[in-house]
Amino acid sequence: MAKITFLGAGSTVFAKNVLGDCMLSEALKDSHIALYDIDEKRLSESEMMLKTLNSNINNNRATIVSYKNRKEALRNANYVVNAIQVGGYQPCTVTDFEIPKKYGLRQTIGDTLGIGGIFRGLRTIPVMLEFAEDMAEVCPNAWLLNYTNPMSILTLAMARATNIKTVGLCHSVQVCVPHLLRDLDIKKDNLQWKIAGINHMAWLLDVTSNGIDIYPEIKEAAKKLGTPHNNMVRLEIMKQFGYYVTESSEHNAEYMPYFIKDRYPELIEKYNIPLDEYPRRCVDQINKWEKQRDTLTKDKTITHTRTNEYGSYIMEAMETNVPYTIGGNVLNTGLIPNLPSDCVVEVPCLVNRSGVNPCYVGELPIQLAALNRTNINVHQLTVEAALTRKKDYIYYAAMLDPHTSSELSIDNIKNMCDDMIKAHSNWLPEFK
């Protein structure tokens, strides 16, 4: 019987997806599911929902327990799912957007790169290291399945500073090709693809249908697509650099220096870029939750269909030794030779009882590796700042961020960082 600990279990909808998936896996049906969250009300709501789901789809085979003590929730765990958000929408996400805006720096999502990603990483890494300390004591052999952003930054921090077995998981790899073909109205079967790079900037390196390369057809269809639409940035990247990128246009608009330009405001309309998108989503989710709460916690008929989230499939493969392939975020141990060895890459991984086994990819096309490295610089320097607690590394990360450095002067970047450090003081360690 596996023990699955879910950190951040107050994320009720996501907990339903991952843990509901586990209840639908024969290998995981009898698991002990340990729930932990610092928000006791949301934790209680998730527990109610999961117990109803356990009854409806699993004949109450799983044991579901909420814990107030994190270490006890982790004790003897085989798998730890991390879905926390340090600081929440209020005050931290609002701060991540509003202070940069005063300097003329606009963002769309701000959870992976840029000023928003840097500071989300800085306030989350210390909490993740606390998790690692607890895990080293009470479940040293457990696998940490990290879903929290900034994915590359957090996974790199865990790799550098702990011995905890960690894999970073994102949604963008498994949906990349199906969504692209849907948007282009291309219908194909027997698809096969290869994706590799870094999280949120991994590349569709090749894609075939029945063994035939369909990249030329994709590029031709993209040229004929009417505008505006919600995928214009990614298709422009494919047009200019030759390959399609996994994560959404609103994300990639702020990972490069070309699209959000104060001097060229017409680009926002040209590429249909949704500025302040993440705060808007947060507000929508908060409002939606008011309506969802009763359905999820009081409806005694709720059910679940297994999703494409990797979590349950990873656990299932480790429990049964039946191999499963994922796109995972892991340390670059020569997997992509033209990216740095001390960075986290997103590559195909084979999962079985021995764990998550990354696959060798080889060198990326040189232009793609170059784009990845501009983001990796920020990942590495943010982790260095968190581990050394030296403020200079925060400045370096911000000054080398592609979007930030293309918009602001050095003095304004440093002043903005100082304002962010002050505003986030309750959520950050002291930097010297």
417 labeled binding residue: no
The amino acid occupying position 300 is: K
149 labeled binding residue: yes
Task: Name residue, tokens 């004929």.
Answer: 224
How many Cβ atoms from other residues are within 10 Å of residue 92's Cβ? 20
What are 185-188's contacts with CB under 8 Å, separation 24+?
Answer: 185/221, 186/214, 186/217, 186/218, 186/221, 188/214
How many Cβ atoms from other residues are within 10 Å of residue 288's Cβ? 12
Instruction: At 90, give phi and psi (nearest 5°).
Output: -110, 125
Task: Report yes or no: 165 and 136 within 8 Å, Cβ to Cβ.
Answer: no
Residues 6+ apart with CB under 8 A from 281: none
What are the Cα distances from residue 259, in Å, to 112, 121, 402, 420?
17, 24, 11, 24
DSSP-derived letter for residue 171 is S
Task: Report yes or no: 77 and 6 within 8 Å, Cβ to Cβ.
Answer: no
Chain centroid, CA 193 distance in Å = 21
Alpha-carbon span 387 to 368, nearest angstrom: 29
What are the Cα distances from residue 26, in Å, to 23, 157, 311, 320, 354?
8, 34, 15, 10, 20
Residue 424: active-site member: no
92 labeled binding residue: no
- Give me Rg for the CA atoms of the chain: 21
Which tokens go with 386? 């968190």
Which tokens go with 281? 């989503």
Alpha-carbon span 312 to 318, nearest angstrom: 10
Pick the catalytic residue: 32, 171, 179, 304? 171
Alpha-carbon span 65 to 185, nearest angstrom: 46
Alpha-carbon span 76 to 140, nearest angstrom: 8
Bridge-based pairing of strands 143-146 and 165-168 is parallel
Residues catalogued as catalytic: 171
Known binding residues for Mn(2+) are: 170, 200
Known binding residues for substrate are: 149
Known binding residues are: 149, 170, 200
